[in-house]
Amino acid sequence: MPDLSKITCIEDLRVVAKRRVPKMFYDYADSGAWTEGTYRANESDFQKIKLRQRVAVNMEGRSTRTTMIGQDVAMPVAIAPTGLTGMQHADGEILGALAAKAFGIPFTLSTMSICSLEDIAENTGRHPFWFQLYVMKDRDFIERLIDRARAANVSALQLTLDLQILGQRHKDIKNGLTTPPKPTIKNLLNLATKPHWCLGMLGTKRRTFRNIAGHAMGVKDLSSLSSWTAEQFDPALNWGDIEWIKKRWGGKLILKGILDAEDARLAANSGADALIVSNHGGRQLDGAPSSISALPAIADAVGRDIEVWMDGGIRSGQDVLKARALGARGTMIGRSFLYGLGAYGQAGVTRALQIIHKELDVTMAFCGHTDINTVDSGILLPGTF
């Protein structure tokens, strides 16, 4: 185990990940659509919100424990679904799930993961985890995917609503990030500078989208997988499909990608258990509001009818606390988790969670609270949110 005691913030992990992960895969994770304005605002808008420091408050016996859709969690944080996680580090999804299990928070596997549902179940001792579902045109494949999720002991299904069509990310095009990746001279030269990553990938059999390859009709290799995925995202997705998925699944359902209060009311009326205020990490509609700026109106509109969570831009425990103060019962981390994974594998993910937890715990105390469940907007300086 590496000594990560000198890694004191998520930015430290990002710097190491940028050095250790091949450029095309690092840029895939650390980029946004078009001008990347929304991607940057997700992070910078948190900084505008100021905290009220309180003093002479008994800070003993602090607790960050709470629940998300009835599940006990060590802090109001879950690992978000991220595509190609197994390309940040060999077997990345398995390592993330193991770190989350040990820390006591939920892990969410993406449909577009490198490790499969079955890989996660087998390597975590069938510990419950969440699964994020993209709706494809091939409904038979979706039905079988839902059945596989149930068989793998998935305890909640997370349906992403904001990827019916793909936003354009300039870095992916410039880097030649396709399926399979283009072996350009530039990419090969960059790979030569990443020996640790290359050795890890040589040591694993997991190098493709294992939830899809071998399971979707006609998809047997990377080339056929590329054409299948390009055709399968369903632009006709609507609220009727959500009702069908809810009935087919029959368990806890979370809707991800809500940015508007009107859509939030539709989500609450759908019977889902939670919604996630999210702009897909700024990777879809550039020019959309940051998640944290959209959160208060949505929480005010539906917070009594459905659990409201928030995703996008969280780089610290202070960000988690601010989201909680503005109405988010839970939060999700994507890039913060990926930086840790790309930097140091499972140990890096654990370190990211430790950093966020400590910042959350200490900041909560400075703001005069010892229980995360009592935190509200009273901890924030009026006029800054």
C-alpha 178/C-alpha 194 separation (Å) is 20
Residues with Cβ within 8 Å of 259's Cβ and at least 6 positions away in sequence, in order, are 162, 277, 278, 279, 288, 289, 291, 294, 298
CB atoms within 10 A of CB 358: 14
Half-sphere exposure of 84 (CA within 13 A, CB side): 19
Torsional sign, CA 292, 296, 301, 306: positive
Which of 89, 280, 357, 369 is labelled catalytic? 280
170 a catalytic residue: no
C-alpha 138/C-alpha 144 separation (Å) is 10
Determine the residue type at 31.
S
259's tokens: 């940015």
Active site residues: 280
